[in-house]
Amino acid sequence: MLAARHVVCALSGGVDSAVAALLLRRRGYQVTGVFMKNWDSLDEHGVCTADKDCEDAYRVCQILDIPFHQVSYVKEYWNDVFSDFLNEYEKGRTPNPDVVCNKQIKFKCFFRYALDNLGADAVATGHYARTSLEDEEVFQQKHIKRPEGLFRNRFEVRNAVKLLQAADSFKDQTFFLSQVPQEALRRTLFPLGGLTKDFVKKIAAENGLHHVLQKKESMGICFVGKRNFEKFILQPRPGRFISIEDDTVLGTHKGWFLYTLGQRAKIGGLREPWYVVEKDSAKGDVFVAPRVDHPALYRDLLRTNRVHWIAEEPPAALVRDKMMECHFRFYHQMALVPCVLTLNQDGTVWVTAVKAVRALAPGQFAVFYKGEECLGSGKILRLGPSAYTLQKGRSRSGPRRQPQPGTRALSAGSGFGGAEPGGRPAAGLLLDPGAWPPLLPRRGRKDLLLWVCPRPTPSASYPPGGAAGTARNKRLSSTCILTAASVGTGRRGRQGVGTAHTWDLPGVCWEDHPYAWH
């Protein structure tokens, strides 16, 4: 008789991981429970309940009659997750530590501990997610480390394990798993992937797990809970709240890095709500708009860092054609948004949404989906202009500017300004001096900027065959936008980009253009 498969289950002290361990036990596996301590509650006073959670996890193991282990990753969590979290905040970004925690702690540190120290055949968690492998297929794999480099085994790449959405779409947690490495996913079980939350609670109640059944779900930062993170920032950086519409100073704040785009700004003395739409890191100012649906909150273009693909390689269609239709979201439980991905040579991607979405912010993860499959994710680094900028033809601090002498616009632009030949010139786009150099690289003349951006064509405009047509046709039908803008000095002596004129370059692969906006 074959020995039972050994599965090490991560226990958090909550109902989901407890029921996951119970279901594995019922399936006949040899189960070991492990509680991970990732925050030292003795360091400072907060609402972290690590000790109580550990006790609850131990009681689960007693009820299920399985071994219990506790492991500390306080140092690893601080170095790889929390320090990065603080650094991102100080840069004015909006980090998601839950995604990073799963990648660095659960599916790296814990995964290696389970296999190397406890001799596990597989690991399991209480996440609501699924993979393309049945349970027994996980154990039947030959786990041979693949060689790295150009000539690695393509058969294994083509047969990569897929990360699939849970049956309960509301509880689906693939968003938080979008950075999990393929090596770990191949040896991971998600016992709750086909269940609903209500059914999980029913199982817990029927099996004496009442002590975890009534616990409040943790919706805060991974392992840390709710804390006042201002005390981790050494130096307060007070600044002003400024209206995006007329530059009126509305109040003051303690630090621009404490605010994220889309957040309601609490401004003393004002009854009506105002929302954060931009941040000036150089001056410490936070720009706000008066309505929750203000166009300054909406954007339809972003760029990520190098994408982590679950399959380790980009989808074949994206590699072949450089463009691909899919869906994305940038926060948990957000409705999926149709988009077009444009692959860059360095592995980063442009994401063009079919409609503008609210409160995109650098630092968040854009997670990509094709049907029920989670393809992977990339951290948002740059944003396109807001709907307000496109409507007004200027940025927050830029007055309407006339074209510089000697510039001639051949066709109307798509939101960066421009003018018809002989027609009324549009207003220019003025950027902060700290923002335009990396986004709009200076080329040629000192007083002129040239750059190229992609403008993907909607499916309805594709050649015959529509969205089902070849991706090659889709690529050729996209529009490449060449933009020229003068550099000058705006109001308050701020250097910026003046009136921008654009030319459409149909059929041109924007990424290969010498002035590509990378």
Over residues 294-304, the pLDDT tens digits come to 999 999 999 99
Record the pTM.
0.75
Q: Is pLDDT of 59 > 50?
A: yes
pLDDT at 3: 60
Residue 149 above 50 pLDDT?
no
Share of the chain above pLDDT 90, in %: 54
Considering only 166-170, 266-270, 276-280, 408-412, which range has the smallest mean pLDDT? 408-412
Cα–Cα distance measured from residue 381 to residue 361, given in angstroms and rounded to the nearest whole number: 8
- Average pLDDT for 127-152: 64
pLDDT at residue 110 in the model: 98
Average pLDDT over residues 424-431: 30
Q: Assess whether pLDDT exceeds 70 at residue 214.
A: yes
| % of the chain residues with pLDDT over 70 | 65
Q: What is the pLDDT of residue 255?
A: 87
* Residues 64, 21 contacting (CB under 8 angstroms): yes
Mean pLDDT within 95-118:
96
Whole-number pLDDT of residue 444: 38
Q: CA–CA separation, 303 vs 405, rounded Å?
A: 33
**Cα angle value 137/138/142 (rounded, 5°):** 90
At 38 the pLDDT is 87
Average pLDDT over residues 371-396: 85
Question: How big is the chain, counted in residues?
Answer: 518
Residues 6+ apart with CB under 8 A from 159: none
Known catalytic membership, residue 222: yes
Task: Give me 368's structure tokens.
Answer: 């990509």
Lowest mean pLDDT among 9-18, 59-68, 419-428: 419-428
Contacts 24+ apart (CB under 8 A), 195-203: 195/128, 195/167, 195/168, 196/167, 196/168, 196/171, 197/128, 197/168, 197/170, 197/171, 200/15, 200/16, 200/19, 201/15, 203/19, 203/22, 203/23
Q: Which residue has the higher pLDDT, 490 or 437?
A: 490
- For position 89, what pLDDT does the model report? 84
Average pLDDT over residues 372-397: 83
Of 48, 61, 222, 326, the active-site residue reads: 222
Q: Report whether 276 contacts 240 (CB < 8 A).
A: no
Give tens-digit pLDDT for 15-32. Answer: 999 999 999 999 999 999
Top-ranked range on mean pLDDT: pick from 44-48, 226-230, 399-403 = 226-230
Average pLDDT over residues 147-172: 69
Out of 9, 61, 101, 453, pick the active-site residue: 101
| Structural domains of the chain, with CATH | 6-213 (3.40.50.620), 235-292 (2.30.30.280), 296-381 (2.40.30.10), 392-512 (no CATH)
What's the average model confidence in pLDDT over 492-518? Answer: 47
Q: Are 434 and 456 in contact (CB under 8 A)?
A: no
**Model confidence band, residue 429 (pLDDT cutoffs 50, 70, 90):** very low
Average pLDDT, the chain: 76
Rounded mean pLDDT, 155-183: 88
348-356 mean pLDDT: 94
pLDDT at 156 over 60: no
Band the pLDDT of 282: cuts 50, 70, 90: confident
What pLDDT score does 133 carry? 86
- How far apart are the C-alpha atoms of 213 and 205, rounded to whole Å? 7
Cα 472 to the center of its chain, rounded Å: 28
